[in-house]
Chains A and B, each alone.
Chain A
Amino acid sequence: MTDVEETLLPGVGARHDFTTTEGQRLGVIVHRTGVRELLIYGQDDPDACAHTLRLEGDNLRVLVELLGGTQIVERLANLQYSVEGLAIDWLSLPANSASIGTTLGSTAMRTRTGVSIVAVLRGEATIPSPEPDLVFEAHDVAVVVGTPEGILQADAILQQE
């Protein structure tokens, strides 16, 4: 498992970078605005980026698909625009969340917030329409559908320590 270094960039977002087995350092900046910046570090100056590439929206989607990303993400994104009053979000479980080790059903998400968890992204795997007995693990990403207010409440529940 490659060591991915995560560095906080205050006011910008976060930078994730790692070194390939060939010794090439690569990185991605996840801007808070959703823009991704692809970083290719130079050989002679290991601290400077030889090339940077800003990607967002369709451009980003194409590159991710070419590199083998999940297709469920795109289909859900299209769904977002067709139903008014509805929102879709990707809520990640931090390592210290109290929901880790509990089942999806026990969170009673739909009863408490009105939000439905339609998929769980775990590492590179996607679990669509998860069963209520699915046990949450750290760094799971729950794909949720509901009202914006409900999603905020659901996020609060999942973030609770």
Chain B
Amino acid sequence: MILGADSSVAPALIELGLVIVGLAVMARVAGRTGFSPIPLYLLAGLVFGAVAEPDFSEAFIELGAQIGVILLLFMLGLEYTGSELTASLRTGFRSGLLDGALNFTPGLIVGWLLGWGWLAAALLGGVTYISSSGVVAKVLTDLGRIGNRETPAILSILVIEDLVMAFYLPLIAVLLVGSGTVAAVGSILAALAAAGAVLFVAIRYGEVMSRAIFHRSDEVLLLTTLGIVLLVAGAAERLQVSAAVGAFFVGIAFSGQVAKRAETLVTPLRDFFAATFFVFFGLQIDVGALPGALPIAAGLAVVTAATKVFTGWWAARRRGVATRGRFRAGAALVARGEFSIVIAGLGVAAGLERDLGPLSAAYVLILALAAPLLARYSDEIVAWSLRQAARRRPAPA
């Protein structure tokens, strides 16, 4: 007991305290430099893993990491109302399709070229496909671009990516369990059907459910919300639908006043547990494998940055945005972050492919640095390119 003289819990507390203080320092550095703290949390995990692996508190960190993913997805679902989802799907469907084709393929091909199994390659495809909603939102807000006319194109692509995740994650979860092919096909179809059904219920009856949960007291609402999220996530995991997706659907079901208050109440918890998740992922990475993964990660980063820029460029063009706006849209989407790590984390936890972890970590770290810079200077880059093009044109006689 904590109050007794028994010191068995002390090492765990001290270790955990040190980890969290380390995360706090990282968050300060991130705030000072204007970058997202996620890659720094990852870095902290890598450093801890290499130098001083947490022993006593590892169990807590692992469970905290699980809860972190669940809360991350829950808050993501909270972001969007059912009508926003359907509207984005209607207007941005083709852009979403292009996004998938252009950005999933490089990861898939590289995984295949490296001689990985097809499942590991599919995971790498997921890692390169999904842009980080968190980092993109932060970049857009920091640069004052929320009001720009290319922003709706960016946002609807992010919404479609999140919807794709709702089906991709259960698919992966089932495949990772690794039953025989015939049984697997059956489970995949069942999982996808379940996901589709729950999504339908969440969108259709979300308001009714939210009204049932509503309570004036913050404490009651907090406990109700967390209880429901964890219960549904756990049940989803049991049914092979993946806990994260269950939490996402609960987030979508919440609407109106309940959603607003739940967002305020759960955000601090999400911040803490999500940070735990990124550290945990970093802890699991073999730091020695990082230098070897760097060149491949860099190449993949360059290619997938180009494909994202093209995706955003194309999507913005469809909405009648001019050149600079198109490039701004593309540059904003380059950011990869929390979701890529969630996908890689699934593969690492299943022990699928030794190099998946280091490659994904290196990839995310590279883009976490490069993407905000690219977004910030996109106008300048366009201006420079136009000047270069004009210079090469022969002067009129």
B322 lies within 8 A of A45 (CB): yes
What does the 1/0 interface line of B132-161 toward A look like (CB < 8 Å)?
A: 010001000000111111111001101100
B34 within 8 A of A: no
- Chain B residues with Cβ below 8 Å from A48 are 145, 148-149, 324-325, 328, 379
CB under 8 Å from chain B, chain A span 16-64: 17, 27, 29, 32-33, 37, 39, 41, 45-49, 52
Docked complex: B71-124 residues within 8 A CB-CB of A = 79-80, 84-85, 87-88
Contacting pair A11 B214 (CB below 8 A): no
Give, as a whole number of angstroms, the nearest-CB distance from A152 to chain B. 6
A2-10, A72-80, A119-127, A130-138 - the one binding chain B: A2-10
* Known A-B contacts A10-B80, A152-B211; A39 and B216 likewise in contact (beta carbons under 8 Å): no
Q: Is the CB of B152 within 8 A of A9?
A: yes
Are B257 and A49 neighbours in the complex by a CB distance under 8 Å?
Answer: no
In the complex, what distance in Å separates the CA atom of A52 from the CA atom of B87? 26
Give the docked Cα–Cα distance between A152 and B216 (Å): 13
Q: Is the CB of A12 within 8 A of B146?
A: yes
B257 contact set on A, CB distance < 8 A: 148, 152
Task: Please tell me which one of the listed residues B79, B87, B146, B321 contacts residue A29 in the complex, with CB atoms under 8 A apart.
Answer: B146
What's the nearest-Cβ distance from chain A to residue B24, in Å? Answer: 26
CB distance from A89 to the nearest CB of B (A): 9
| Whole-angstrom CA separation of A32 from B146 in the bound complex | 14
Q: Is the CB of A10 within 8 A of B147?
A: no
Tally chain A residues at the interface, Cβ within 8 Å: 25
Q: Is B260 an interface residue (CB 8 A)?
A: yes
Contact between chains at A152 and B84 (CB < 8 Å): no
Determine the chain B residues whose CB is within 8 A of the CB of A12 once the complex forms: 146, 155
B31 within 8 A of A: no
Q: Check B147 against A52 for contact (C-beta < 8 Å).
A: yes
Is residue B256 within 8 Å, beta carbon to beta carbon, of the partner chain? Answer: yes
Assess whether B149 is in contact with A9, with CB atoms less than 8 Å apart: no
Cross-chain contact A52 with B159 (CB below 8 angstroms): no
Roughly how many angstroms separate A145 CA and B363 CA in the complex, as a whole number? 54
Beta-carbon contact of A11 and B322 below 8 Å? no
Q: B83 to chain A: closest CB distance in Å?
A: 8
- For the complex, what is the distance from the CA of A37 to the CA of B148, rounded to whole Å? 12
Assess whether A11 is in contact with B146, with CB atoms less than 8 Å apart. Answer: no
Interface residue from B133, B146, B324 paired with A45 (Cβ < 8 Å): B324
Residue of B nearest to A15 (CB): B147
| A11 touching B147, Cβ below 8 Å | no
- A149 interfacial contact with B, CB 8 Å: yes
Q: Report B184-236 residues with CB < 8 Å from chain A CB.
A: 207, 211, 214, 216
Contacts of A11 in B (CB 8 A): 79-80, 84, 133, 137, 155, 158-159
The interface residues of chain B lying within 8 Å CB-to-CB of A37 are 146-147
Bitwise, A100-138 to B at CB < 8 A (1) or not (0) is 000000000000000000000000000000000000000
Say whether, besides A49-B145, A52-B147, A152-B257, A8 and B152 are in contact (CB < 8 Å).
yes
A11–B136 Cα distance when bound, in Å, is 12
Question: Given A8-B84, A148-B214, are A47 and B149 also a contact pair (CB < 8 Å)?
Answer: yes
Known: A9-B155, A11-B155, A148-B216. A47 touches B84 (CB 8 A): no
CA gap between A9 and B88 in the complex, in Å: 9
Q: A49-B145, A52-B147 are in contact. Are A33 and B260 (CB under 8 A)?
A: yes
Which of A138-161 touch B at CB < 8 Å? 148-149, 152, 156
Are B144 and A10 closer than 8 Å at their CB atoms? no
Partner of B148, one of A8, A10, A49: A49
Can you list the 8 inter-chain pairs with the closest CB atoms, starting with the nearest?
A47-B325, A39-B147, A47-B149, A11-B79, A10-B84, A49-B147, A52-B144, A10-B159
Q: List 23 A-B contacts (CB under 8 A).
A: A9-B146, A10-B87, A10-B88, A10-B155, A10-B156, A11-B133, A15-B147, A45-B322, A45-B324, A46-B149, A47-B322, A47-B325, A47-B328, A48-B148, A48-B328, A48-B379, A49-B144, A49-B148, A52-B146, A148-B214, A152-B211, A152-B256, A152-B257
